[in-house]
C-alpha cells in the first residue's frame, strides 16, 4: 500500500478518554519491545476529551509474538486507559466486495487501481442488482454476481448476498453507485465497513437525484461525499468530500457528467484511507489521519 | 469599475424567449447607431428556451441620445421579442447601503474596496441593529445609524430604515452578516436588490448556527454563499459560493474563524458582480456573466 | 458526446480580426439557411482585437448540402472577414491514438470513458516504447504496438509510428504519460493535435521529475497540466490545469501518488474539450469554450 | 489568538534528530511538572530522520517558574537530544511591523484583523517607500514612516529603518506588497522573521510582473504565495499558497484584480500561522502545524 513499509508492520488504531501520558505509554510499549515506529499521528479532541492515535511499526524483531500483541496490549495498556483499539498487520490483505448498479465510472476507477497494484487488497467478487456491468468485471477477471431485487425479494436476496460475502470472507463492502438502499439488517453485518459514494456534498441534497435538485436550486458548486453507511439514509460518518464549480451554463446532464469525476475520485480516496487503516469513527464522525 | 471603459458606456442586460436572430438584432441596433461594443456575452438556456444577454458599448458618438435609448430599444426590439431588459450607464454610480450587526470582517472587506476605489459605488450610510460597529464606520467617515430591534419595534424600525434608505436614494442593500431576518414588506421594497451572505454552502445548513451544524455533521468542507434575499429564508437566487477544506482537527471556533475569510470574499464578489451589472435573475436562479 | 444533439450537427470554430457584425453575419448565415442553432458561444479579445466563436447547429433541413457548407461559408463570409475556421460534423467520429510508457492510470482513465461510450471517438491503436501496458490494452481489445526507442533508433521508429498512424487515419494523438520527447518532425505531422499531460502546474517544474522538484522546493500545492505539444518542451498551449493541496507530511512518493489523480482527470478533460471541438489555439494560448 | 487558551500558556516548538522516546520524554517533562497540555502535534520526516513537535500547555500551577523553563528544558532534554527549540508565552504579544508600497488590499486585510482583535499582536508602526498609504495607517491610528528609496540612498535608508524597528522592539516584519528588494544585510537582521507575499504560485513566475507573465503563458490557474524572505529572491521557505481558476476571458487587469483576493488571504494566513507559533523552518522548507 501507498505508505507502508516494504517490511511487515503492525498498525494500531485506538481512542480512549484523554489522560496524561497515553501517547508516551503507547510509544514506550512499542519502543521497549524493539518495534521500529515508521508512522505516528495522534489527535486530541479537547471538546470530547477523547484521545485518538494511529501508530505503525515494523514487527521484525518485535519481542512480542504477532499473535500475542493484541492480548499484551490490552492487558498492559488497553484495559488501564479504557481504550477502544484495533490491531492490523499489513501482511493480511483485506478482502473487499464491490456493489454496483448500472454506471461504470466508479467501478472502473476502483478496478484500475486494483489492476495497477496501487492497493494491498483482494477483490474476490462484484455484486449487482443489474446485469449491465458484467462486461467490466470480466475485463478484470472478477466474478460478477447478479441479484435482481424487487420489494418482495429484497430480504431473501440480501440474505443470499450476505451468505456469499461470508463465504468469501469479505471484510468490507464498497458501494460504487449501487442504487439500492441496504436494509438495517444488512448494514448490521458490516458496521463501519460499508463505504458509499453519494453524489452531492452532504448534507445538501440527501436522497435521490441530487444533481437535479442542485440544478433546480441553482447552486454554483456541486460535490460528492464518501461515507460509512448507517441505518439512516446518507447520514453516516463522512470520510471524504470534494467539490467542483459550476455555472448557469451547466445543464442537469452536464452536472451528472462533471459529477462523475468527483464521485470516482472521492470514493477511491475514501476506500484508500479505509484500506490504509487511517479512519477512526467516533460519534458518527471520522478522524482521518493523513 | 473593474472592467469598464474609461469612457462612458451603456450596459444592457436582457432576457426573452429564444428566437432566431435576437443577438444579431441587438448588436445591429448598437452598431448601426455607431456604438462601439466593448463587452458582449450571451447565454441560451435550451431547457427553458430563454435567451440572456449582456452587452456594453461606448456611448460617445452614439446616434440615439442617452435618455432616449431605453424608449427606442423598447420600441424597435424589446416589444417585438418580449424582452425583459434593464439599461444602465456606467456614469451613474449606484448607491449602496450596508447592514451589519456585530462582526466586522465583511464590513471591513467591503469598505476597504470602497476606500481603494475598486468599485464605482457610493456608500452613503451603514445601518445596524447594534452599536458595536460604529467605530469601523467612523474610520471610513460613513454615517452609522443604530436601529435597535425587538419583536415589538421591528415593524416601525424597518419602516424608519426604509424611509432613510429612500431619503438617501439607495439602489441596493448589502447584508454584511446582519443577524436579523428582514420582513417580507422590507424585501418587497428592494426586489433582487438585497444581497446577503450566508455562512454555509447552501442549501446545506439553512438558518442559524451553520458552523455548529457543520461541526455536528462532521463535514470535511465548509462554505459560504452570497444570494439575493427573498421572502423565504436562505432560499433566494445564489450569486456566488466558495468552500474550504476542513478536518477533524477543526473545532467549532476554528470553523467560524476559517469561515470568515470565505464569507467576506464571497460577499464582496457577489456585490462586485451586482455592481458590474453582470447578474440576471430568472426563476430563482442567476445567470452570472464573466 | 456529452452535449451534442442526438441529431446530426455541424460545428463551426472560427476566429478573425474583430469587426462590426461578424456574429450577426454568422448566425444569419445559419438561420437563413434553416439551421437550428443549439450552441453558440463567442469571445472577443479586446487586446488582440480578435474575435472567436463556436457555433453548432442541426443540419437536418439545412439548405446547403453538407459537403458544400465549407465552400459556401468561405465564399460568403470567411474570405470577407479573413476568418480562420474549421468545420466539423458530429457524425464523423474522430480517430485517436494513445501513446503510453509504463504507468497505467491515465490509460485506464481514457479507456474506461471510451468503454462507457462517454466519448464519440474511435481508438484504433495504442503505441508504447515499453511492453508493460499491453495487458491494459488487451483488456479493452485494442491493438498495442511496441516501439522500443534508443537514441540511434528514434528517427526510424518515429517514422514507423507515423506510418502506422497514417495507415489508421489517426486525427489526433494523446500522450498518456509517454516518457519520450517527440521530435519536431513528428510534432509537425500533428500540429495542435497532440495532447500531453505534464505532471506539474506549468510553467513551474518544466521537464523531468517535477514531483521531486516540488518536494525539494517545499511547495504547498501540486498540479497537472494538459497542453498541446509544440517543439519547445512543456511550452505548448495549455488546455486544462488542476491542483491539490499538500503539506509537509507528504513524501515524494505521496506526491507522485496524489498527483496521479490530478493527471488522469486533467488529461481526460483536455481530451474531452478537444473532442467536443471546444478548443481554439491562438498565439500559443487556448480559448476553451464551456 | 485563535486557538489559544484564555489562560496563560507556554508554547514549545522544537526539532531534532529522530530517536526513540523523544515525544514521550517531552510530554512527561510537562506532565510531571503539572502542566496541562492543550495542544500537541508532531511530525517525523522519515527521509531526513528529523523529529518536529509543537506542544502548548497551561502554565498556571506549572512547577518550574516561567523564566526557568527554557534552562531546565535545555538541561534535561534539549542537550541530550540535540534539540533546536524555541519557547514562547502567549502572554507576550509579538510586535510586528508592516512594510507597504502603493497597494492597500493586503494592508487593509492585516489591519482589519488587528482592529477586530483576531490576533494577539502589536503593530506599532508601518513603513513605506511611498507616501500613498498613509491615509490607511491613519484610519487605524498607526504611525506611518515614509522612507523614499533610490539606489544611492538604499543602504542608509535601510539602516534607518532597522534602527526604527529596533527602537520599537519589532520581532517580525510583514511585507504587504512592498515593492523593494531588501538587502541581504537587512534580511540578516530578521532571519525567518520577514514574511512576504508573492503574487504567483511559486516557483512559477518569480520576480516582477507575474500576472503579465501568467497572461502571456496562458495558464488556467493563478496563485499567491506567502514565504519567509531569504537572500535569494522569491526562493525562501513557503508558508501558504492558494490558487484560483481563470480563463481566456481574463485580461491582465482582471488577473491583477482577482489575484488581490488571493494575496491578502494568503498573506494573512501566513502571518496568522507565524503568530500562532505553528511554523518551523527546516532546510528551506516549512513544517506548518494545523
Residues in contact with B244: Cβ distance below 8 Å, sequence separation at least 6, in sequence order: B221, B222, B223, B258, B259, B261, B262
- In chain C, residues with a C-beta closer than 8 Å to the C-beta of A249 are 290
List helix spans (H) across B33-133.
Answer: 69-73, 79-81, 105-115
* Cell numbers found for residue A172: 468490507
ipTM beyond 0.85? yes
Q: How confident is the model at residue A23 (pLDDT cuts 50, 70, 90)?
A: confident
Number of neighbouring beta carbons within 10 Å of residue C68: 11
Residue A136 has, within 13 A of its CA and on its CB side, a CA count of 34
- Rounded to the nearest 10 degrees, the angle between the axes of helix D252-275 and helix D210-217 is 130
* Residue ranges of chain B whose CB lies within 8 Å of a chain D CB: 2-3, 104-105, 108-109, 112, 115-116, 118, 135-136, 139-140, 247, 249, 251, 253-254, 257, 261, 265, 268-269, 290
What is the per-residue pLDDT for C40? Answer: 87
Q: C287, D223: Cβ pair inside 8 Å?
A: no
Nearest chain C Cα distance for residue A265, angstroms? 7
Backbone angles phi, psi at B189, to 5 degrees: -75, -25
Decide: C274 and C195 in contact? Cβ < 8 Å: yes
Q: How confident is the model at residue D3 (pLDDT cuts 50, 70, 90)?
A: very low
Q: Is the pLDDT of residue A1 over 80?
A: no
Active-site option among D8, D234, D250, D261? D234
- Residue-wise pLDDT for A208-267, tens only, equals 999 999 999 999 999 999 999 999 999 999 999 999 999 999 999 999 999 999 999 999
Mutate to test the interface with C, among D51, D204, D227 (most CBs of C within 10 A): D204
**Among the partner residues D112, D139, D249, nearest to B290 by beta-carbon distance:** D249
| DSSP annotation string for C7-73 | S-EEEEEEEEE--TTHHHHHHHHHHHTT-EEEEEEEEEETTTTEEEEEEEEE-TT-SS-GGGHHHHH
- Mean pLDDT for the stretch of residues A19-27: 86
Shortest CA distance from C215: residue in chain D: D285
- Indicate the length of chain B as a whole number: 290
Q: D2, B253: Cβ pair inside 8 Å?
A: yes
Nearest chain A Cα distance for residue B219, angstroms? 6
First to last CA, chain D: 14
- Residue-wise pLDDT for C20-73, tens only, equals 778 889 988 998 999 988 898 989 898 899 999 999 999 999 999 999 999 999
Q: How confident is the model at residue D2 (pLDDT cuts 50, 70, 90)?
A: very low
With vertex at residue A169, the alpha carbon angle to CA A168 and CA A171, rounded to the nearest 5 degrees, is 125
* Cell numbers found for residue C229: 505539444
- Residue-wise pLDDT for A161-214, tens only, equals 999 999 999 999 999 999 999 999 999 999 999 999 999 999 999 989 999 999
- In chain D, residues with a C-beta closer than 8 Å to the C-beta of B290 are 247, 249
Nearest chain D Cα distance for residue B265, angstroms? 7
Q: B238, A249: Cβ pair inside 8 Å?
A: no
Backbone angles phi, psi at A259, to 5 degrees: -65, -30
- Mean pLDDT for the stretch of residues B2-30: 85
Give the pairing of strands A95-100 and A172-175.
parallel
What is the per-residue pLDDT for B23? Answer: 85
The question of whether D261 is a catalytic residue gets the answer no
What is the per-residue pLDDT for C5? Answer: 55
- Residue-wise pLDDT for A63-104, tens only, equals 999 999 999 999 999 999 999 999 999 999 999 999 999 999
- In chain B, residues with a C-beta closer than 8 Å to the C-beta of C38 are 46
- In chain D, residues with a C-beta closer than 8 Å to the C-beta of C287 are 248
* Residue ranges of chain D whose CB lies within 8 Å of a chain C CB: 43, 45-47, 201-205, 217-221, 223, 237-243, 247-249, 251, 284-288
Residue C28 has, within 13 A of its CA and on its CB side, a CA count of 12
Segments of A46-152 assigned E as strands? 50-58, 84-89, 95-100, 122-128, 144-146
Q: C284, D205: Cβ pair inside 8 Å?
A: no
Q: B219, A205: Cβ pair inside 8 Å?
A: no
* Cell numbers found for residue A133: 456491468
Catalytic sites of B, residue numbers: 234
Q: How confident is the model at residue D5 (pLDDT cuts 50, 70, 90)?
A: low
Average pLDDT, chain B: 95
Q: Is the pLDDT of residue B3 over 50?
A: no
* Residue ranges of chain D whose CB lies within 8 Å of a chain A CB: 20-21, 23-25, 27-28, 31, 37-38, 40, 42, 44, 46, 245
Q: D40, A23: Cβ pair inside 8 Å?
A: yes
* Cell numbers found for residue B173: 442593500
Nearest chain A Cα distance for residue B269, angstroms? 13
Residues in contact with A219: Cβ distance below 8 Å, sequence separation at least 6, in sequence order: A204, A246, B201, B202, B203, B238, B241
Mutate to test the interface with A, among C40, C101, C104 (most CBs of A within 10 A): C104
Report which of A160, A157, A176 is spatially closest to residue A168, judged by C-alpha positions: A160
* Dist. CA A203–CA C199, nearest whole Å: 34
CB pairs under 8 A between B and C: 33
Q: How confident is the model at residue A46 (pLDDT cuts 50, 70, 90)?
A: confident
Decide: A69 and A9 in contact? Cβ < 8 Å: no
**A96-105, C35-44, C186-195, D150-159: the lowest-pLDDT one:** C35-44
- Residue-wise pLDDT for D83-102, tens only, equals 999 999 999 999 999 999 99
- In chain C, residues with a C-beta closer than 8 Å to the C-beta of D248 are 43, 45, 285-288
**A25-29, B214-218, C251-255, D63-67: the lowest-pLDDT one:** A25-29
- In chain A, residues with a C-beta closer than 8 Å to the C-beta of B247 are 288
What is the per-residue pLDDT for B5? Answer: 54
Shortest CA distance from B118: residue in chain D: D257
Nearest chain B Cα distance for residue C35, angstroms? 10
Amino acid at each position: 500500500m501507498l505508505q507502508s513499509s516494504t517490511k511487515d508492520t503492525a498498525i494500531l488504531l485506538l481512542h480512549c478518554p484523554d489522560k496524561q501520558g497515553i501517547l508516551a505509554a503507547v510509544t514506550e510499549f512499542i519502543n521497549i519491545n524493539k518495534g521500529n515506529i515508521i508512522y505516528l499521528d495522534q489527535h486530541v479532541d479537547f471538546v470530547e476529551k477523547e484521545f485518538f492515535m494511529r501508530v505503525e511499526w515494523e514487527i521484525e524483531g518485535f519481542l512480542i509474538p504477532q499473535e500475542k500483541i493484541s492480548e499484551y496490549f490490552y492487558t498492559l495498556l488497553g484495559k488501564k486507559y479504557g481504550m477502544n483499539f484495533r490491531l492490523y498487520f499489513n501482511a493480511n490483505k483485506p478482502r473487499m466486495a464491490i456493489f454496483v448498479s448500472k454506471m461504470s465510472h466508479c467501478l472502473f476507477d476502483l478496478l484500475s487501481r486494483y489492476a495497477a497494484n496501487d492497493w494491498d487488497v483482494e477483490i474476490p467478487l462484484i455484486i449487482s442488482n443489474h446485469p449491465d456491468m458484467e462486461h467490466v468485471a470480466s475485463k478484470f477477471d472478477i466474478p460478477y454476481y447478479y441479484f435482481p431485487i424487487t420489494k418482495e425479494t429484497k430480504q431473501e436476496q440480501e440474505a443470499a448476498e450476505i451468505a456469499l460475502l461470508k463465504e468469501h470472507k469479505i471484510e468490507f463492502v464498497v458501494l460504487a453507485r449501487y442504487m439500492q438502499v441496504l436494509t438495517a439488517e444488512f448494514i448490521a453485518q458490516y458496521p463501519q465497513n460499508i463505504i458509499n459514494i453519494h453524489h452531492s456534498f452532504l448534507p445538501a441534497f440527501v436522497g435521490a437525484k441530487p444533481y437535479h435538485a442542485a440544478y433546480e436550486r441553482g447552486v454554483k458548486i456541486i460535490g460528492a461525499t464518501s461515507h460509512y453507511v448507517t441505518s439512516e439514509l446518507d447520514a453516516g460518518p463522512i470520510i471524504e468530500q470534494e467539490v467542483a464549480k459550476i455555472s448557469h451554463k451547466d445543464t442537469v446532464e452536464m452536472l451528472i457528467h462533471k459529477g462523475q469525476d468527483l464521485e470516482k475520485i472521492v470514493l477511491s480516496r475514501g476506500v484508500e484511507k479505509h484500506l490504509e487503516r487511517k479512519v477512526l469513527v467516533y460519534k458518527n464522525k471520522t478522524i482521518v489521519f493523513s
